[in-house]
Amino acid sequence: MRQDVDNVPMIASACLFLASKVVERPVSLNNIVKAYSIIDRQVKTAKNPKLIIPPLSPSAIEKLRTQFKAIEFEILCAINFELTVDLPYRVIDEYKNELTEWSTHNVEAFMRAANNFANDSFLT
C-alpha cells in the first residue's frame, strides 16, 4: 500500500472507520467523511488563511465515500485481512449475565467499574 504523505488524514480516517467495524461499534461512513472534510478544511485554511473552501457537494461526498472504500480495501489487503482483536468487553458482558443472578451485588456499579478499567487499560 503506497499512498502519498498528503493522504495521511484520509488513511487515518479510513483506519478509524475500519477499527469501528472490528470492535462492532460501526460509525457511519457519512460521519467519517464529514469529520475528514472538517480536518481537511482546517489543514488547508491553516496553510492559506485566505482560501475559501465551498461546502461539500453531494458529488464530492460520493467521491470521498468511494475513496474511503478503496483505501479501506487497500488497508485490508496490506494486513492480509487479519482482523482478530481480543477485547475484554465481551468477557465483561458475559460475566454480567452471571452477576444478574446474584441479587446481592450492585451489577451496574460493577459494570461501570469493569468497563472503566478496560477503557483505562487501553490508555497505558
Instruction: Check: CB of residue 20 under 8 Å from CB of residue 26.
Output: yes
pLDDT band for 99, please (50, 70, 90 cuts).
confident
pLDDT tens across 22-80, in order?
877 788 999 999 999 999 899 889 999 898 888 999 999 999 999 999 999 999 999 99
Average pLDDT value over all residues in the chain: 84
d(CA 100, CA 104) in angstroms, rounded, equals 9
How far apart, in Å, are the Cα atoms of 123 and each of 101, 109, 114? 32, 21, 15
Q: Give the gyration radius of the chain's Cα atoms.
A: 20
116 pLDDT above the threshold of 80: yes
97 pLDDT above the threshold of 60: yes
* Percent of the chain predicted with pLDDT > 70: 87
Grid cell of 11 as nine digits: 488513511
CA quadruple 24, 28, 33, 38: dihedral positive or negative?
negative
Domain residue ranges in the chain: 5-78, 89-123
